[in-house]
C-alpha cells in the first residue's frame, strides 16, 4: 500500500446493530477499534453469541499493534476474548471497560493479555498513529470517543455517545475538544447512527432519576422491582441512592447484575452504604415496603431473573398484587415480543408494571438528530462515514449530513467487509475482504453455512425419525419388526397408526429386493429414501431420517 494512504476495513457494526469492529491500517501497522458481539435471533437455534469474522486480522496478525475499546458494552467488547486467542496485541480502554474485560477473561484463563488503562485527554502513540481519547456521555461510565491522528489527517470516531447536559458523573461530553479539533481540521468523521431517526435531543439520565424518585414517593407500601441494564452503572447509582433515601434494603438478582455491581464498587464507579444490601435468600424476612429488588431481564431474555419471576419459576420471589415492577429500559430492536410477553405475564399475576411507554423511566445512551448535528457542526469534516447502525440508520445519517451542507461525493456508506482508502484529499472504496458472522456455540466456533446449524433448523421445523432394524446377512430376511422412533413428526393421537404404517411400508419395500450379502450402507440409503418419501406424502414434512441396520 502506498505510504500516504490510510485503509479502513469494516468487520462489524455497519448495516447491523452490534458486533462493532473496525481496523485502521497504515503501511504495516493496524489498530483495531472495538471487538463486539451480538446475540442470536430465532434463525440461529442453540447459538450462544455471534462475533465478527475477523479472518482479515488473523491473516495480518503481525501488523496488529493495538486493540482500542471505546466503552464496555457487550457489542463493543464481547469478542475480545476470542480475538485475543488468535492475536497478541495490547488492549486499551477506560478503567471500567478494562475491568469488565477482565471479568470476561476469567472464562478464558489460558489467554494471556496486556491491558492498559487510558483516560480522557490522554494521547497514545502507536507507530504512525496518535490516538487521543475524548470524554463522551453514554449509558455506561468510561465511554470514550477517539481522534486518530494519521499521516493523512485526523479521523474522529465517536463511539457510542449522547450529549447529556445533566450527566450523573458531572462531566459532560467534551464538546469543546470536538470544536478545537474541528478548527485544526478533521479529514474524516465516523459518527454513530443508532438514534439518527429520532428528532430532537435524547433525554438526560437525571430525568430518569426524577421519574424513579416519583415512583418511590408514591408507592411506599409496594415491593418495588426494577429491571435495567446491568452495565448502566449511573442508573444503578441513582437507584441505590433512592433506596437509601427511602429506607429500602436492596437485593440484586441476575449474574450480570451482581458481577457488574461488584466491578463498579471495586473501581469506585458505584458508591453506597453496603449495609442496605440483603441476600436474595433472606428477603422473606422483610416487609414489602422495606424492599427493593434490582434485577436483570429488561429485554425478556429467556433465562433471566425477571423472566423466571414472570413464569413463576424463581424460587425466592413470587410475583403478586403488591408488587410494582419498573422496566427502566426500552426494548432493543428485535426483542419487543419477548419484552411484552414478560410484561403481560407480570400483569396477569396481579402486579403493576411501569415501562417506558407509560413514564420516562429510561433514557437512551445514543445521540438523537440534534446532538448528531452538533458533532457535525463542531468537527466540520472533509469526509464522512456513518457507522453503528442498520442500513436504514446509515442512509438517514447520510441524508442528515447532506442537509448540513456535505456533498454526497464526500460521503461513503460502508458495508460489512468494505475497505476504504483515505488520503489527504480523497476517499474511495477499494474492495472487500472476508467479513460476516462467526457463531459461538458452547466451546465451538462455527459459521453460517455450518451443517450443525442446518440440522438444528431441520430438527426444529420437521422433527426426526429413527429406524432400527436387523437383517439376516445370509438369507437377506428382515429379523423381527423394524423399531421406529419419531419426535416432532406426528401428533400423539396419530403416532401409533403412523409408526405401524411406516413399519409395514419398510417391510413391503424390502421384500422386493434381494438383500443377501448386501452392503449395510446400501440398505440404509434405500430405507432412508423410502421412509422420507412415505412421510412426505403423508405429512408434507421432511424430517431428519436416521437409519441403523444391524446384520445378524
What does the alpha-carbon distance between residue 264 and residue 261 come to, in Å, rounded to a whole number? Answer: 5
Instruction: Please tell me the pTM assigned to this model.
Output: 0.84
Residues contacting residue 140 through CB under 8 Å, at least 6 positions apart: 71, 72, 73, 96, 231, 232, 233, 234, 365
Q: Which of left, alpha, beta for 111 (phi over 0: left; psi -120 to 50: alpha)?
A: beta
- Cα 160 from Cα 140, distance rounded (Å): 10
Task: Let me know: does 79 contact 103? Beta carbons within 8 Å.
Answer: no
pLDDT at 449: 59
Which grid coordinates are listed for 379? Answer: 468537527
pLDDT for residue 43: 65
| 427 and 7 Cβ atoms separated by less than 8 Å | no
DSSP letter (8 states) at residue 281: G
Q: Report the alpha-carbon distance of residue 354 to residue 356 in Å, rounded.
A: 7
Q: With beta carbons less than 8 A apart as the criterion, state whether 36 and 78 touch.
A: yes
In CATH, the architecture of 6-200+364-446 is 4-Layer Sandwich (3.60)
Of 131, 12, 19, 118, nearest in space to 65 by CA: 131
Closest by CA position to 161, among listed 125, 201, 214: 201
Cα torsion angle, 395, 397, 402, 403, sign? positive
Q: Which residue from 144, 134, 124 is spatially nearest to 76, judged by alpha carbons?
A: 144
Closest CA to 101 of 137, 157, 140: 140
A 10 A CB-CB count for 21 gives 28
Query: Splitting the chain (552 residues) into consecutive groups of 10 residues, what average pLDDT does each group show?
Result: 82 94 96 91 70 95 97 94 94 96 90 95 96 96 97 97 91 96 97 96 92 95 93 91 95 87 87 90 93 90 89 93 92 81 95 85 92 98 97 97 96 96 96 88 63 76 89 77 88 87 87 74 86 90 88 76
Q: What is the pLDDT of residue 46?
A: 66
- Kindly compute the dihedral angle of the four CA atoms of residues 215, 216, 217, 220, in this order, to the nearest 10 degrees: 110
Q: Where are the domains of the chain?
A: 6-200+364-446, 205-354, 463-551
Phi, psi of 192 (to 5 degrees): -65, 155
CATH fold for domain 205-354: Rossmann fold (3.40.50)
As assigned by CATH, the class of the 463-551 domain is alpha beta
Output the pLDDT for position 1.
Answer: 43
Q: Which three cell numbers stand for residue 74?
A: 457487550
Q: For 134-192, where are the alpha helices, taking DSSP H only?
A: 175-184
Backbone angles phi, psi at 305, to 5 degrees: -60, -45
Is 468 in contact with 546 (CB distance < 8 Å)? Answer: no
What does the pLDDT read at residue 438? 84
Amino acid at each position: 500500500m502506498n505510504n500516504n494512504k490510510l485503509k479502513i476495513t469494516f468487520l462489524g457494526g455497519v448495516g447491523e446493530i452490534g458486533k462493532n469492529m473496525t481496523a485502521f491500517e497504515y503501511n504495516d501497522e493496524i489498530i483495531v477499534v472495538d471487538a463486539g458481539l451480538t446475540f442470536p435471533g430465532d434463525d440461529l437455534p442453540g447459538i450462544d453469541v455471534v462475533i465478527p469474522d475477523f479472518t482479515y486480522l488473523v491473516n495480518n496478525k503481525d501488523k496488529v499493534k493495538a486493540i482500542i475499546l471505546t466503552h464496555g458494552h457487550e457489542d463493543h467488547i464481547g469478542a475480545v476474548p476470542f480475538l485475543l486467542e488468535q492475536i497478541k496485541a495490547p488492549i486499551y480502554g477506560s478503567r471500567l471497560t478494562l475491568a469488565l474485560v477482565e471479568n470476561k477473561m476469567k472464562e478464558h484463563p489460558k489467554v494471556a493479555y496486556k491491558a492498559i488503562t487510558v483516560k480522557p485527554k490522554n494521547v497514545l502513540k502507536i507507530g504512525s498513529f496518535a490516538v487521543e481519547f475524548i470524554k463522551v456521555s453514554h449509558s455506561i461510565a468510561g465511554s470514550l470517543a477517539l481522534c486518530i491522528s494519521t499521516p493523512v489527517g485526523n479521523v474522529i470516531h465517536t463511539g457510542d455517545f449522547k450529549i447529556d447536559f445533566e450527566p450523573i458523573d458531572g462531566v459532560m461530553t467534551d464538546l469543546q475538544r470536538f470544536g478545537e479539533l474541528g478548527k485544526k481540521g478533521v479529514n474524516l468523521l465516523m459518527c454513530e447512527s443508532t438514534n439518527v431517526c429520532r428528532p430532537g435531543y435524547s433525554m438526560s439520565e437525571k430525568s430518569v432519576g426524577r421519574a424513579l424518585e416519583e415512583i418511590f414517593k408514591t408507592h411506599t407500601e409496594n415491593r418495588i422491582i426494577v429491571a435495567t441494564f446491568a452495565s448502566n452503572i449511573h442508573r444503578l447509582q441513582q437507584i441505590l441512592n433512592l433506596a437509601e433515601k427511602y429506607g429500602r434494603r436492596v437485593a440484586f438478582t441476575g449474574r450480570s447484575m451482581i458481577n457488574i455491581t461488584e466491578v463498579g464498587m471495586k473501581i469506585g464507579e458505584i458508591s453506597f452504604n453496603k449495609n442496605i444490601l440483603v441476600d436474595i435468600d433472606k428477603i422473606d424476612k422483610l416487609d414489602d415496603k422495606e424492599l427493593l429488588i434490582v434485577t436483570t431481564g429488561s429485554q425478556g431474555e429467556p433465562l433471566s431473573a425477571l423472566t423466571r419471576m414472570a413464569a413463576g419459576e424463581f424460587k425466592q420471589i413470587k410475583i403478586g398484587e403488591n408488587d410494582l415492577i419498573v422496566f427502566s429500559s426500552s426494548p432493543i430492536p428485535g426483542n419487543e415480543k419477548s419484552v411484552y410477553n414478560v410484561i403481560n405475564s407480570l400483569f396477569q399475576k396481579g402486579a403493576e408494571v411501569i415501562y417506558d411507554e407509560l413514564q420516562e423511566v429510561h433514557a437512551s445512551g445514543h445521540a438523537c438528530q440534534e446532538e448528531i448535528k452538533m458533532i457535525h457542526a463542531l468537527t466540520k469534516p472533509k469526509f464522512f462515514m456513518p457507522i453503528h447502525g442498520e442500513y436504514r440508520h446509515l442512509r438517514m445519517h447520510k441524508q442528515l449530513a447532506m442537509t448540513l451542507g456535505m456533498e454526497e461525493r464526500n460521503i461513503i456508506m460502508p458495508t460489512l467487509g468494505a475497505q476504504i482508502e483515505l488520503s489527504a484529499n480523497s476517499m474511495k472504496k477499494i474492495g472487500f475482504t472476508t467479513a460476516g458472522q462467526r457463531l459461538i456455540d458452547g466451546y465451538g466456533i462455527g459459521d453460517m453455512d455450518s451443517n450443525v446449524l442446518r440440522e438444528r433448523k431441520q430438527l426444529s421445523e420437521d422433527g426426526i425419525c429413527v429406524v432400527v432394524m436387523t437383517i439376516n446377512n445370509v438369507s437377506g430376511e428382515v429379523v423381527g419388526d423394524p423399531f421406529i422412533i419419531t419426535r416432532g413428526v406426528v401428533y400423539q393421537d396419530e403416532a401409533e397408526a403412523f409408526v405401524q404404517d411406516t413399519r409395514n411400508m419398510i417391510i413391503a419395500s424390502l421384500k422386493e429386493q434381494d438383500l443377501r450379502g448386501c452392503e449395510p450402507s446400501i440398505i440404509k440409503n434405500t430405507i432412508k429414501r423410502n421412509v422420507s418419501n412415505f412421510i412426505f406424502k403423508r405429512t408434507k414434512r421432511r424430517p431428519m431420517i436416521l437409519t441403523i441396520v444391524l446384520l445378524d
